[in-house]
Amino acid sequence: MIVVMKRTATPEAVQQMARTVEEMGLKAHVIVGTERTVIAAVGDKRNGAKELLESYDDVEQVVPILAPYKVASLETKPEPTTIRTRGLVVGGGNIGVIAGPCSVESEEQILLAAEQVKAAGATGLRGGAFKPRTSPYAFQGMKEAGLKLLALAREKTGLAIVTEVMTPQHVELVAKYTDVLQIGARNMQNYHLLQAVGETRLPVLLKRGPSATIEEFLLAAEYILDQGNQQVMLCERGIRTFETHTRFTLPLATVAYLQERTHLPIVVDPSHGTGIASLVPSMCLAAVACGCDGLIIEVHPEPKKAMSDGAQSLTPAVFADTMARCRLVAAAVGKTIG
Ligand code: PEP
Ligand code: MN
């Protein structure tokens, strides 16, 4: 249920109502909007709860939330959520650009990549230190040493760091170094991990599982939101279909569809979505045109020498050109990018 507070309700009255909701055995999420403050009351509601809550003076009305994803739903919060960390702004009319290599490989590589993507206009730096690889024999990432290099790159460039955390035990460690915690596609339904990042107050980039439905995707986001972390970005990174020409199939309709259902910002990953570097620029333009709030793009100083995902990584020159073209499309749809 959504408990819509009266405009006249004081912050103390809102807190008191949240306690009342919790005393009824429901979880209370206070959402302060520009128009109204509402409390999403989530859980198994008992008979008469709606009428009881409506009897309080500070309550305007109580309405059921129909979507199974309660806190992520537009019914709960009609205004879009914007995520800001350092210079990275995702949503609110700006398309946040996160770029960098698939994996952190060395100090030289990540510092160079950081400078190159910054020069082209990115405000976020990606780079995996813990890598989820299909084969146990493939490069698994530099782990904490990689996190330290990301922090160094941030110190030198001011870019916001986005890096993956693969297990609940590592959340504290990764959170020490990063600005955004990335949940990889393979972990979208790792519920303990979702809860663990939900307990932090860092923004989370949640990637869609390659075989997950949109409802499963939103319910995964709900696990994070339910822990009180409201800073979740949804990332469409391609799904598995019968098609084998591209690494995954990138369904851009997800962007428009999600915007009709959730206030959370939507990021598109054309690198994993196609797996082919030559297709990435066009898909970046298309993602901007269809209304995405952010892009995450793999860029490597020398893609041919990359230790992972070189085939889908852009050279810094192609990335710079792509950014210039994306700026034109962003302007055409009334947005800024970077
Ligand atoms: C990545 O971002 O490098 C990555 C492993 O992505 P995904 O989880 O979408 O496969
Ligand atoms: Mn990758």
Model confidence at 200, in pLDDT bands (50, 70, 90)? very high
User: What share of the chain in percent tops pLDDT 90?
Assistant: 96
70 falls within a domain: no
Model confidence at 161, in pLDDT bands (50, 70, 90)? very high
Model confidence at 35, in pLDDT bands (50, 70, 90)? confident
Residues 151 and 219 in one domain: yes
Residues 224 and 92 in one domain: yes
CA of 87 to the centre of ligand 1 (A): 23
Residues 7 and 54 in one domain: yes
Residues with CB under 5 A from ligand 2 (ion): 102, 309
Residue list, ligand 1 pocket, CB within 6 Å: 102, 128, 132, 184-186, 207, 237, 272
- SS3 helix, strand, coil % of the chain, rounded to 5? 40, 20, 40
Res. 68: pLDDT tops 80: yes
CA of 205 to the centre of ligand 2 (A): 14
pLDDT of residue 210: 98
Mean of pLDDT values over 155-183? 98
**Total domain count, the chain:** 2
Do residues 6 and 59 make contact, with C-beta atoms less than 8 angstroms apart? yes
Res. 309: pLDDT tops 80: yes
71 falls within a domain: no
- CATH for 221: 3.20.20.70
pLDDT of residue 87: 96
Model confidence at 189, in pLDDT bands (50, 70, 90)? very high
Residue range(s) defining the domain that contains residue 8: 2-63
Residues 197 and 295 in one domain: yes
pLDDT of residue 233: 98
220 falls within a domain: yes
Q: pLDDT (tens digit, 9 = 90+) per residue, 223-269?
A: 999 999 999 999 999 999 999 999 999 999 999 999 999 999 999 99
Residues 20 and 164 in one domain: no
CA of 249 to the centre of ligand 2 (A): 15
How far is the C-alpha of 152 from the C-alpha of 155, rounded, in Å? Answer: 5
Q: Do strands 83-85 and 88-90 pair parallel, antiparallel, or not at all (unpaired)?
A: antiparallel
Q: What is the mean pLDDT of the chain?
A: 97
pLDDT of residue 44: 80
Residues 39 and 99 in one domain: no
pLDDT of residue 118: 98
Mean of pLDDT values over 51-59? 95
How far is the C-alpha of 92 from the C-alpha of 264, rounded, in Å? Answer: 11
Residues 115 and 255 in one domain: yes
Residues 32 and 156 in one domain: no
pLDDT of residue 43: 87
Model confidence at 45, in pLDDT bands (50, 70, 90)? confident
Mean of pLDDT values over 162-180? 98
Tokens of 252: 């851009």
Model confidence at 123, in pLDDT bands (50, 70, 90)? very high
Q: pLDDT (tens digit, 9 = 90+) per residue, 260-295?
A: 999 999 999 999 999 999 999 999 999 999 999 999
| Nearest ligand (C-alpha, residue 183) | 1
69 falls within a domain: no
Please say which residue of 32, 63, 94 terminates a domain: 63
Model confidence at 80, in pLDDT bands (50, 70, 90)? very high
Residues 226 and 169 in one domain: yes
- CATH for 11: 3.30.70.1140
Mean of pLDDT values over 113-118? 98
72 falls within a domain: no
How far is the C-alpha of 149 from the C-alpha of 108, rounded, in Å? Answer: 9
Do residues 158 and 174 make contact, with C-beta atoms less than 8 angstroms apart? no
CA of 102 to the centre of ligand 2 (A): 4
Atom of ligand 1 nearest to the CA of 187: 8
112 falls within a domain: yes
Model confidence at 90, in pLDDT bands (50, 70, 90)? very high
Neighbours of 213 (CB within 10 A): 11
Residue to probe by mutation, ligand 1, list 166, 248, 269, most atoms within 8 Å of CB: 269
Helix boundaries (H) for the chain? 11-23, 49-54, 107-120, 144-157, 171-177, 191-198, 214-225, 253-259, 270-274, 280-289, 316-332
76 falls within a domain: no
Ligand 1 atom 4: residue of nearest CA: 184
Residues 97 and 174 in one domain: yes
Q: pLDDT (tens digit, 9 = 90+) per residue, 124-145?
A: 999 999 999 999 999 999 999 9
| Nearest ligand (C-alpha, residue 275) | 2
Residue from 90, 112, 127, 70 nearest 262 by CA: 70
CA of 334 to the centre of ligand 1 (A): 30
CA of 309 to the centre of ligand 2 (A): 5
pLDDT of residue 47: 81
Residues 21 and 146 in one domain: no
pLDDT of residue 57: 95
Res. 207: pLDDT tops 80: yes
Mean of pLDDT values over 320-325? 98
pLDDT of residue 34: 81
Element at 40 (helix H, strand E): strand 37-42
77 falls within a domain: no
Ligand 1 atom 2: residue of nearest CA: 102
Residues 36 and 174 in one domain: no
